[in-house]
Amino acid sequence: MTAGPTSEPDTRGSRLHKRRRPGEQAIRAFLFFCGALSILITIGILYELGTESILFFQDERVGVFEFLTDTFWQPQVGRFGVAPLVLGTLYITVIAMLVAVPIGLLAAIYLSEYASSGVRSFFKPVLEILVGIPTVVFGFFALTFMTPLLRDIFGTSVVGFFNVASAGIVVGILIVPLISSLAEDALRAVPDSLRQAAYALGASKFEVSTRIVVPAALSGIAAGLVIAMSRAVGETMVVTLAAGASPRNFDLSTDPIFGHVLNPFQGAQAMTGYVAITANGDLSYNSVDYNSIFAIGLTLFVITFGLNSVSRRFVKRFRQVYE
The pTM for the full model equals: 0.85
Report the chain's mean pLDDT, rounded to a whole number.
85
- Give the model's pLDDT for residue 319: 64
- Give the model's pLDDT for residue 99: 94
67 within a domain of the structure (yes/no) = no
68 within a domain of the structure (yes/no) = no
**Where does the pLDDT of residue 1 fall: very low under 50, low under 70, confident under 90, or very high at 90 and above?**
very low
296 within a domain of the structure (yes/no) = yes
Task: Look up the domain containing 132 and give its range.
Answer: 80-318
* Helices of type H across the chain: 22-57, 64-69, 83-109, 117-131, 135-141, 147-154, 164-188, 192-200, 205-207, 214-216, 218-233, 237-242, 271-279, 288-318
- Give the model's pLDDT for residue 168: 94
- Give the model's pLDDT for residue 141: 92
CATH of the domain at 289: 1.10.3720.10
229 within a domain of the structure (yes/no) = yes
184 within a domain of the structure (yes/no) = yes
**Distance of alpha carbon 57 from alpha carbon 68, whole angstroms:** 12
> How far from each other are the two terminal CA atoms of the chain, in whole angstroms?
53
36 within a domain of the structure (yes/no) = no
pLDDT of residue 16 exceeding 60, the answer is no
93 within a domain of the structure (yes/no) = yes
Name the least confident of 98-112, 125-139, 159-173: 125-139
94 within a domain of the structure (yes/no) = yes
Question: Number of folded domains in the chain?
Answer: 1
